[in-house]
Amino acid sequence: MPEASTIAAAGEAPARRGILRAELGETVKLALPMALTQLGQTAMLTTDVLLVGRLGADAVAAAALGMNFFFLLFIIGMGIVTATAPLAAQAYGAGDARGVRRVTRMGLWAALLVGLPSSLVLAMGEPILVAIGQEPRLAALAGEYLSTLLWCSVPALWLIVLRNFVSALNRPRSALWVMLAGIPLNALLVYAFVFGRFGMPEMGIAGAGLATTLVQIAMVLAQLAVAVWGKPFRDYCILARWWRADWPKLRQIFALGAPIFVSFLLEAGVFIAAVVLMGWLGTVPLAAHQIAVQIASVTFMVPFGIAQAATVRVGHAVGRGDAPAVRRAGWVAIALGTAFMGVMAVLLYVTRFGLPALFLDQAKPDSPAVIALAATLLIFAALFQMADGAQAIAMGALRGMNDVRIPMLLGALSYWVIGFTLAYVLAFAAGVGAPGIWVGLSVGLFCAALLLGTRFRRLSRRGYLPAVRR
């Protein structure tokens, strides 16, 4: 007769598989609209690059400088307001509707406090780019682009806060519908303002920035309407007494958001620094780098959406005080994202020549050289796909546990001490050039995936749960 322990173990295995399948289903249901929303955002940027690319390699290179300078500052605000995601999810998991409202209201305040100074710095984009060694001709073009793009800083941050609010309530689809409406509107406006169509002035590269700003304003107004009047969001009354300061909650957002923005800055900043290094190598490497990064960023948006879902799922479990669910939510999300990026690695390798050709007018004399170099860089992008997805999702899971300071330090070690140092040495000291920069980026991402995954494993195994403030 079998022992009782053997029977119990035999019964536990199917039950455990059932729990994991249920977690996978909930993660996919939450992550899918989030990932599609992020893909939509990338589709807008890709549309900008495709249309601006018709103006030539100089325009693409200038757009690369302008976009990366904008995101360098935008990341600060994005990191701060991203703190509303775990805080709102934890409050929702704990059944604290008032806490969800307080987090969202103060998140809108934080976006304004950070976004306005960023816009002032963006207004000085051209002299700053010249001061860091970029060609004056490209810096002037980038300045034109930034002169119209800077007005979207605050609306774009507000949009993130509102997306975090609806996602914390397990209803991220409204953000997806808003994004889907924005994609064709963005393409239409970029085409109209860049080339002077439909009665609009021909503004060149500045037209792309203006179109992005107008679309971001339209999208935040649409998302706000959903959050205020849609079901079940209206029950939370997020704009009730919006003028009233909640200093403890605002301080909590900044305290949690500061390490998050530093983590974002460390990762994105190393790619932005790579743009500066590429600029030192010339226009062709810079344009090829921008195209390769734009393509790689499309695939990254899916694990980025899964990472957001991991933050919410882990945050809900933290709010409930359910340590096993925290561990389960994190590992299921990491496995899902890594598997997806494995497929994307193969796809990038196979299409490495065809995709860059879509971004340029091949009649231009420098287009063949840009396409060839971009195809080489995409080989490295294929190699780091799985590591990039794993590190992003592990970071998202840790964020759901309010664990942000140690991951920030691990990111600094991975992206900069290891990755950037290697990139610089290979590109310039060893003379490898643009491919050497991407080797360094790849190694940094692999290190981040290993260290952050180990950090989540250690915390989740010992059942760590942060205190949820009310």
pLDDT at 9: 45
**Amino acid, res. 262:** V
Tell whether the model's pLDDT for residue 124 goes beyond 90: no
Q: Report yes or no: 380 and 389 within 8 Å, Cβ to Cβ.
A: no
Query: Helices (H) and strands (E) in the chain — how many of each?
Result: 18, 0
Higher pLDDT, 10 or 437: 437
Higher pLDDT, 467 or 221: 221
Tell whether the model's pLDDT for residue 6 goes beyond 60: no
Burial class (CB in 10 A: 0-12, 13-18, 19+), 304: buried
pLDDT at 130: 84
Statement: the pTM of the whole predicted model exceeds 0.75:
yes
Q: Is 87 helix (H, G, I), strand (E, B) or coil?
A: helix
Minimum mean pLDDT range among 8-22, 235-249, 349-363: 8-22
Measured CA to CA, the distance from residue 77 to residue 158 in angstroms comes to 10
pLDDT at 375: 93
Tell whether the model's pLDDT for residue 15 goes beyond 70: no
Measured CA to CA, the distance from residue 105 to residue 343 in angstroms comes to 40
pLDDT at 12: 59
Higher pLDDT, 214 or 5: 214
How distant is the alpha carbon of residue 171 from its chain centre?
Answer: 20
Q: Nearest-CA neighbor of 153 among 85, 224, 220, 232?
A: 220
Higher pLDDT, 58 or 336: 336
pLDDT at 49: 72
Domains of the chain by residue range: 24-461
pLDDT, mean of residues 127-136 = 82
Tens of pLDDT, residue by residue over 172-223, are 889 989 988 998 998 899 899 988 888 888 888 888 889 989 999 999 999 9
